[in-house]
Structure 1
């Protein structure tokens, strides 16, 4: 097997891993967004939640950890697929998605701190119920506001990745262009919300096409895979031309 054939097979495997990762973290995101999870506002009384709610809270934390773990896995897999197109650009995209994952894990810690302060009063023995409620409110608002910060590196990484897909034609160009547009819109909306928090409720619907795109590209990469013939054929042709006497 030639080096080019080996690289093509490796890229196809990594593309399917990226598709699987997209699918897993979008499923986790759906559970977090639409699942039967109580909101942090249920902790505002400063009293420990019922046992059922506590369990659901914990499943939410687990789902968020799974989501960000597979964000990182997808970043590594996408880098492995796209480094042959432009190693520098693919690396910048990967680091942006890694920043997203690191920020997401940090925000989970903030939210878990609020949860733990109420569920385990021994962790804050000097706090009254009202003080615990105030702590939950603070950490809830920090989490709710700063979550938009991680959408900025996510958007930059997504734009770079799908610009490389568009260039290499590993996936149909319409799908790659949709990806570039999707992540550009996500980044723009996140920046607008950070600057003007009052518009958040008015622009949330514009995030829906982004969620739809991630489902489409997840299934495409997982089941259809990537077509490397155009790019690797072009690369091998250039190599042969350079080595010809």
Structure 2
């Protein structure tokens, strides 16, 4: 179990690093909010950088699949059916995430055309952003359930697993609100902050300390034999 816990810790940190690289090193430099033409021009002029961001995203969602598997291995002894449900939610996150990458590739191909239509590029990027919001919903559902199982089994400190439940419940509300009110999505991203803190914390904890080994249930001593002689 400790091996899978350390794998999960490494993958948590990998997901954080790759997602931040994609967001801060690529998208923040290429995507100009409200300016379709400038965004299309920047993507066309920095095709390699933009595609590097897609590779970061691919690495992130591949890590999500491996993380979901490792957490299932750890938590199936706590409650197999709920651990499987959490696995399926995280797998749904990865599948939808792969689709968002395809929209990103289409945006790059359209931007590279000599007579590129900025509106089409923007439509692909908007579809990608919306798909990413959907991945956040599945991420939150899976993480809340995983953290609830970790809390129940006391495999990590309850303060940490409780933080995960609260942080991703807040993020779930923010993601749902972002789908309903896309014009306020940037402001709602503040709801992600506690979740990022949690993923860094649990990743470091699992990598360094692993999980607590459940104690085997105590067995009652065999009853003494009654005397049969008279």
The aligned counterpart of 1:232 is: 215
Residue deviations 1:61-92, cap 9 Å, x none?
A: 11000000001100000000000000000000
- Contact 2:97-2:131 within 8 A present in 1 as well: no
Maintained 8 Å contact 1:25/1:67: yes
Match of 1:153 among 109, 117, 138: 138
For the pair 1:55 / 2:48, whether they are aligned, the reply is: yes
TM-score, scaled relative to structure 1: 0.82
1:101-158 deviation per Cα after TM superposition (whole angstroms, max 9, x unaligned) = 0000100101111102233x3xxxxxx725x322101111111233211111111100
Q: Which of residues 36, 39, 63 is equivalent to 2:30? A: 39
3-state SS of paired residue (1:170)? coil
Which residue is 1:133 aligned to?
118
Structure 1 runs (4+) deviating above 4 angstroms are 40-43, 45-48
Measure the CA separation in 1 of the matches of 2:138 and 2:149: 17
Cα separation, 2, equivalents of 1:203 and 1:62? 26
Which runs of no fewer than 5 residues in structure 2 stay unpaired? 224-230
CA distance in 1, matches of 2:147, 2:37: 42
Distance in 1, Cα, partners of 2:142 & 2:12: 14
Cα RMSD of the aligned pairs, angstroms, is 2.1
Secondary structure of the residue that 1:35 maps to in structure 2? Answer: helix
> How many residues in Structure 1 have an aligned counterpart in Structure 2?
218
Q: Which sections of structure 1, spanning at least 5 residues, go unmatched?
A: 1-10, 122-127
**Higher Cα radius of gyration:** 2
Under a length normalisation based on structure 2, what TM-score does the superposition of the two structures give?
0.87
Matched ranges for 1:35-114 at <5 A: 35-37=25-27, 38-41=29-32, 44=37, 49-50=44-45, 53-114=46-107
